[in-house]
Amino acid sequence: MFDVLSNKTYRRLFFAQIIALIGTGLTTVALGLLAFDLAGDQAGTVLGTALAIKMAAYIGVAPVAAAFAERLPRRAMLVSLDLIRALVALALPFVTEIWQVYLLIFVLQSASAAFTPTFQAIIPEILPDEAQYTKALSLARLAYDMESVISPILAAMLLSIISFHSLFAGTSVGFFISALLVSSVLLPQARVAVRRGIYDRTTRGLRIFLATPRLRGLLALNLAVAAASAMVIVNSVVLVQSGFALPQRFTAFALAAFGAGSMMAAWALPRVLARLSDRTAMISGAGLLIMGLSVGVYLSDYRQMLLLWWMLGLGYSLVQTPGGRLLRRSAHAEDRPALFAAQFALSHVCWLLTYPLAGWLSANFGMSQTFASLAFVATLALIACASLWRPEHEQPAVVHEHPDLPGGHPHLARNKAGMHGHAYVIDDLHRRWPA
């Protein structure tokens, strides 16, 4: 897997991603402490609002940012966004009012919403070989999972010698280093085949997404992933400390078990995807999520929880990691930034639905009912995926015709006039998938 790091450009971008992720993890810890410092017992409300602002920024800003990204130099854009995030992190320790926290979080997360899809869309151009790109996706998944383990441990170590305000400085340093690494490489320029209006550019990714069967299936799987991960993220602490009456550190162990399952799947996926189709692997992962949530109805002790969380992490990564391959295959290079932004926004819509659902169900109906309800949501999502994304949609050449094109059109000159077949993506000549 690590041989992909022999590519100098990707290697520097990957380390930039890791450093920025660790910095973001430090901010997560420091933000909770800042909220308590400003609001005391109302810190939970402040954090909940901050998370809602984060989701709103991700959903609303990503498609708009992608629309403007095609007109801007990619390297300058990514470096500028890293610098904005660094400056916001530096400003956070100096806030004195809660509204200032909300404003800075919106700016920080808006910059992340613009940075992440643009960054993700560059990787398939740097690594055009699908096997290499698959390894890069697995490494990215490993980086996210390792961050969830390393950042809290690092924060705990730092807090023993410095105040939580200084954690924001660590975040800022991470973003500055990320900016330096990104600025040190040459990135492929965005390809712009046709100049489009702002509305067309803003909605293009969403229209391609919803017109492509495999991506409609991915959207359904996003909901299954969100149902399972919401159970883990929202209710781990409740299960550990209230259900099993264990100390706080056992919550961290449970989350680490989820991360371990995800990392194991990410490690194995390059070999798995060499034998199985993306659809088979992802549907199998969704089946694991449903099985885990269903078994959770009968959860009775902490050791069972660790095994269950490991299983959910395994299914989570099996579904999540190959998603980039689907996006890569489903658009021309010039449309990939918009498509990655659409996936970024739509996946966070799913989390915006399931996070409060998981919390409300556990508070009002108990854990068994919460597991059962989220298993039901994930099952509906899997049924929808199987219906929307069928095996015949993955044929290497899709047979179709263009009755609206004149006989001498260049597309018909390259392909046979009348019925013909080729790798099919939604674009200006192919606006809907053939029946």
Q: What are 293-328's pLDDT values in tens digits? A: 999 999 999 999 999 999 999 999 999 999 999 999
Collect contacts of 32-37 with beta carbons under 8 A, ≥24 apart: 33/164, 33/167, 34/92, 34/93, 34/95, 34/101, 34/164, 34/165, 35/101, 37/164
User: Tell me: the pLDDT tens digits for 388-428?
Assistant: 999 988 888 777 777 777 766 777 666 666 677 777 888 88
Residue 246 lies in a domain: yes
- Examine the pLDDT at 156 and tell me if it is beyond 70: no
Note whether 125 and 217 are same-domain residues. Answer: no
- Residue 342 or 428, more confident: 342
Note whether 157 and 220 are same-domain residues. Answer: no
Q: pTM for this structure?
A: 0.85
Provide the pLDDT for residue 333: 84
Distance CA 406, CA 403 (A): 8
Residue 192 lies in a domain: no
Note whether 176 and 227 are same-domain residues. Answer: no
Note whether 207 and 179 are same-domain residues. Answer: no
- Examine the pLDDT at 23 and tell me if it is beyond 60: yes
- Examine the pLDDT at 265 and tell me if it is beyond 90: yes
CA-based nearest residue to 315, from 389, 224, 421? 224
The token duo for 363 is 């508070």
User: Tell me: the pLDDT tens digits for 160-197?
Assistant: 787 778 888 888 999 999 999 999 998 887 665 556 66
Note whether 46 and 146 are same-domain residues. Answer: yes
Contacts of 400 (CB under 8 A, 6+ apart): 419, 420, 421, 424, 430, 434
Residue 427 lies in a domain: no
- Residue 192 or 382, more confident: 382
**Confidence band of 144 (pLDDT split at 50, 70, 90):** confident
DSSP H helix total and E strand total for the chain: 15, 2
Q: For the CA atoms of 65, 68, 70, 76, what is the dihedral angle to 10 degrees?
A: -80
Provide the pLDDT for residue 414: 67
Number of neighbours of residue 287 by Cβ within 10 angstroms: 17
Residue 421 lies in a domain: no
Distance CA 359, CA 233 (A): 10
Provide the pLDDT for residue 191: 61
Note whether 111 and 230 are same-domain residues. Answer: no
User: Tell me: the pLDDT tens digits for 49-97?
Assistant: 777 788 888 888 888 887 776 677 889 999 999 999 999 999 988 888 8
CA-based nearest residue to 29, from 155, 144, 174, 145? 155
Domain range enclosing 295? 202-394
- Examine the pLDDT at 218 and tell me if it is beyond 60: yes
Note whether 159 and 221 are same-domain residues. Answer: no
Domain of residue 260, CATH code = 1.20.1250.20
Structural domains counted in the chain: 2
Note whether 105 and 208 are same-domain residues. Answer: no
Provide the pLDDT for residue 324: 92
Looking at 127-131, 148-152, 286-290, 350-354, which range is the least confident one? 148-152
Note whether 250 and 183 are same-domain residues. Answer: no
Residue 426 lies in a domain: no
Q: State the amino acid at position 398 in one-letter form.
A: V
Provide the pLDDT for residue 415: 67
CA torsion through residues 330, 335, 336, 341, sign = negative
Provide the pLDDT for residue 198: 64
User: Tell me: the pLDDT tens digits for 29-57?
Assistant: 777 678 777 777 666 567 667 777 888 88
Domain end: 187, 216, 245, which one?
Answer: 187
Provide the pLDDT for residue 145: 75
